[in-house]
Amino acid sequence: MRHRRMARGFTFVEILATLTFVAIVIPVVMRGISLAASVAGETRHRTQATALCTNQMAELVTFADLTQYPNLSGDFPDAPGFRWESELLEWQESGLKELIVRVKWNTRRGERSVELATLVFPEAQAE
């Protein structure tokens, strides 16, 4: 005589073990997704700030009279939330000046910034 196997369901212990496993794994996975999204947002802001900083520096070197206005600042109309400031410092005793441009923005964790610097020769720029 053949024995027919009846389809069996899960036992209560198996269901409890699965639910416990899921209860442990889901928060860890969600935290990982949240962390990845946060890092992606920070990277996006830092990349945008670096591009803004580069463009602002090029504009200052090209158009601004840095000897008359060594410290400038402003906002970016096309990039709300970002602001910039510049500073012109003596660089050694060479007649060169160091132009520092900073772009700042606020996050939930506080103020963040990107800073770029270059050397300029102010006398040649004024001509």
Q: Check which CATH number belongs to the domain holding 112 and give it.
A: 3.30.1300
Per-residue pLDDT of 51-107, as tens digits, reads 999 999 999 988 878 878 889 999 999 999 999 999 999 888 788 899 999 999 998
Number of alpha helices (DSSP H) and beta strands (DSSP E) in the chain: 2, 4
Identify the bridge partners of residue 104 per DSSP, sorted by sequence position. Answer: 83, 113
Per-residue pLDDT of 58-68, as tens digits, reads 999 888 788 78
Residue 2 falls inside a structural domain? no
Residue 6 falls inside a structural domain? no
Q: Which amino acid is at 91?
A: W
Taking the CA atoms of residue 41, residue 44, residue 47 and residue 50 in that order, the dihedral angle to the nearest 10 degrees is -60
Number of separate domains in the chain: 1
Residue 115 falls inside a structural domain? yes
Residue 49 falls inside a structural domain? yes
Measured in degrees and rounded to the nearest 5, phi and psi for residue 78 equal -85, -5
Question: What is the domain extent for residue 50?
Answer: 12-126
Bridge pairing between strands 73-75 and 110-120: unpaired
What pTM does this model have?
0.73
